[in-house]
Amino acid sequence: MQSLENMTWRTFSSREITGSILDEVRTTIEKETANGSKLKVCIGSDSQVYGSVIEFGTVIVFLREGRGGFMFIANERSTQRMTLKERLLYEVSRSITVAYALCPILDAYQLDLEVHADINTNPNFQSNTALQEAMGYILSMGFVFRAKPDSFASSSCANKVV
């Protein structure tokens, strides 16, 4: 898996983030708080299989209380064969990598952070097979965990970029 700084980041409007994503996040938080926004950050990943290629998307979503939001996006492609459970846990691992790297910045600005997993809490869905492992992984790292239907960062935002 790529480290945070080796991921290629962009905005939803396709503006490439050429510098450090950590610096971009810090600058974004300073700008938004100076404009009076109360922020919350949600991180999520999703994937899609296209033949022999798996496309992964990871997003850092900034929610402005009462004023919408925006996101930074990183994509990765893999030709490694994975079971559904392996793929879902890899998504979670990507999200945790990003969340862990952002913690010092978010803590400094006292911002809430959630890690969202594209995993269904309903046992009738295949993704439920990874629920316990994903929840344990995220919670053991000290993050707030969200799964479907409350995991919009992964199931809606990241889903749109893969």
pLDDT in tens, 1-28: 667 778 999 999 999 999 999 999 999 9
For the chain, what are the domain ranges?
Answer: 4-161
DSSP-derived letter for residue 19 is: S
Cα–Cα nearest to 133, from 88, 81, 80, 83: 88
Give the model's pLDDT for residue 149. 92
* Residue 75 banded pLDDT, cuts 50, 70, 90: very high
Distance CA 74, CA 42 (A): 14
